[in-house]
Structure 1
């Protein structure tokens, strides 16, 4: 009998402890699932929930405010998530609030993160649909990381090829880095550029000098008027030349007839031949007169006077030359 009492005591203690554990479990589960407090529901639509599960936490500004109650398909490309939220935080969630899918740590469970929204907006109501934003998942990050690694590999390969070409080729860049003569040529080029720059500075100073000709040419109104008059004179001369050219090109003009009229040209040739013949005959008559005994003495005196005059001119020229010495 005593033994049965001892066993009954142990059994009763076990039952009490079991009930306590059960009640504690129910309490903590109910608390985590908001089963015992006042709650309200929010909904959001996603194209991809990225591994989100029922029971995962809902955070507001990093603080847990609820859990995920349901996840259902609306269509083949849209999923609706139903959240159960503590009523105490309802006043902080506005109608323009935004919900995204995040992770509880780097490799932790998925969570829903709600940003409160604008203070001037209205507070959400029970079963309100709030805006959602598709978060960047680990898969997208890994894909982007893989692309970055591939690009880095390509860049590294190109840099390796570039370094090889610099060290082994005869290109311009390789010459710049290794060829002494090429470097000297570049030095000379830089010196020439420096000299040219210095000369340009001097030229600029001369241009800025108020007393310089170029400065006066650019700023002095007198110089400008003079240049204007010169240009007008050139313009007038060009107009006169155009008029003269037009007269030359006139078919009825003398010059045009001389150049184009065959009859006029033949007449001019005949006139020139007659003049040449007449001149020749005059020379013959002059020679005949010189040989005539009637005029011979007169021509001799004329020749003698001409010779004396020439001799006097030569003497005067010699005297001037001697004086200069």
Structure 2
């Protein structure tokens, strides 16, 4: 009976010891997960919307868990203050300008807080510091964006469906091009004309190239004009002579203009005769008087020839003229 009681006590003691060991191991395990037995510092972050964060959620930095969410409480009128418990060893990698953002542990996992390291020109964080918030798209916003994109994709698919139906039915310019044989033939004719035009353009380009080569032929006129200084000097002299001729013609034209201008004036004889009717009438009268005087003079000479006093003189003069005429004819023969 005593042996049985001892065995029972030993068995109970063993179970109690095992139970205590399991309890202590569980406490240390949970404490390790919750960072209960490691030295830590506290940081705070102010969010407008914590998107379902809970106390006990993890804090990550560069893909490594460095702490947990210690406490969540309202701050001010509408903000929420989140208290973070960060391993003291991690503070030497995080600077005061670091930012905090809300993310998810996987696509639909628990909410977590992700910290950035900041820049090296700022000192490291200290216990009680408040971090800035980095605004990122939440999972809900991402899902909303996916929904909008899906709707847009459905609309685009419907548009392509309508477009393909119109093409098959021959609606619109593209549909008519595919369905109407006459339009297709016209399009082929246009393509053929474009090909012909392209060939003509190539031919013209080849001819221009040939013409350019002829211009560059050694010894040709164009080559001499561009390279031979003597030919160029002759061309310059010709141009200078042409300029002088042009100047002379201009001077002559100016003189003619001046002379013609004088014809239109009445301060000279020619202009007076041309432009003054009275002077012209006087000239006509003088010419008429001269003609009348010459007629009267002829009549007077004839009367003198008939007069006996001058008859011998005129006969003698006639004989001398006849003799002179005969001598002239002899010299000619």
Q: State the TM bucket, normalised to the shorter chain.
A: 0.5 to 0.7
Q: In structure 2, how many angstroms separate the alpha carbons of the residues matched to 1:183 and 1:190?
A: 10
**1:32 maps to which residue?**
33
| Residues 166, 175 of structure 2: 8 Å contact kept | no
Q: TM-score, normalised by structure 1?
A: 0.59
**1:143 maps to which residue?**
144
Q: In structure 2, how many angstroms separate the alpha carbons of the residues matched to 1:95 and 1:218?
A: 81
* Structure 2 gaps, min length 5: 265-273, 282-333
Q: In structure 1, how many angstroms separate the alpha carbons of the residues matched to 2:27 and 2:191?
A: 86
Q: TM-score, normalised by structure 2?
A: 0.58
Q: In structure 1, how many angstroms separate the alpha carbons of the residues matched to 2:189 and 2:144?
A: 51
Q: How is 1:110-129 mapped onto 2 (pairs within 5 angstroms)? A: 110-119=111-120, 121-129=122-130
What is the alpha-carbon root mean square deviation over aligned residues? 5.0
CA deviation map 1:52-101 (0-9, x unaligned):
21101111211111101122333445333221111122222222333322
The alpha-carbon distance between structure 1 residues 201 and 112, as it changes in their structure 2 partners (threshold 3 A), is farther
**1:298 maps to which residue?**
none
Q: In structure 1, how many angstroms separate the alpha carbons of the residues matched to 2:224 and 2:166?
A: 55
The alpha-carbon distance between structure 1 residues 172 and 202, as it changes in their structure 2 partners (threshold 3 A), is farther
Q: In structure 2, how many angstroms separate the alpha carbons of the residues matched to 1:149 and 1:214?
A: 75
| Residues 47, 79 of structure 1: 8 Å contact kept | yes
- Is the partner of 2:59 in helix, strand or coil? strand
Q: In structure 1, how many angstroms separate the alpha carbons of the residues matched to 2:221 and 2:73?
A: 87
Alignment partner of 1:175 is 2:177: yes
- Is the partner of 1:40 in helix, strand or coil? strand
Q: In structure 2, how many angstroms separate the alpha carbons of the residues matched to 1:165 and 1:157?
A: 12
Which region of structure 1 is more displaced relative to structure 2, 219-228 or 82-91?
Answer: 219-228
CA deviation map 1:7-39 (0-9, x unaligned):
984776665555444433432332222221211
1:192 to 197, 208, 217: 197
* Structure 1 gaps, min length 5: 256-263, 272-325
Q: How is 1:133-282 mapped onto 2 (pairs within 5 angstroms)? A: 133-167=134-168, 168-169=170-171, 171=173, 174-175=176-177, 179-204=184-209, 206-207=211-212, 209-211=215-217
Following superposition, the deviation at residue 144 of structure 1 comes to 1.5
| Residues 42, 130 of structure 1: 8 Å contact kept | yes
Following superposition, the deviation at residue 156 of structure 1 comes to 2.0
CA deviation map 1:159-207 (0-9, x unaligned):
2333333331362674278623422332222331242144235425534
Q: In structure 2, how many angstroms separate the alpha carbons of the residues matched to 1:120 and 1:49?
A: 30
Q: Bigger radius of gyration, 1 or 2?
A: 2
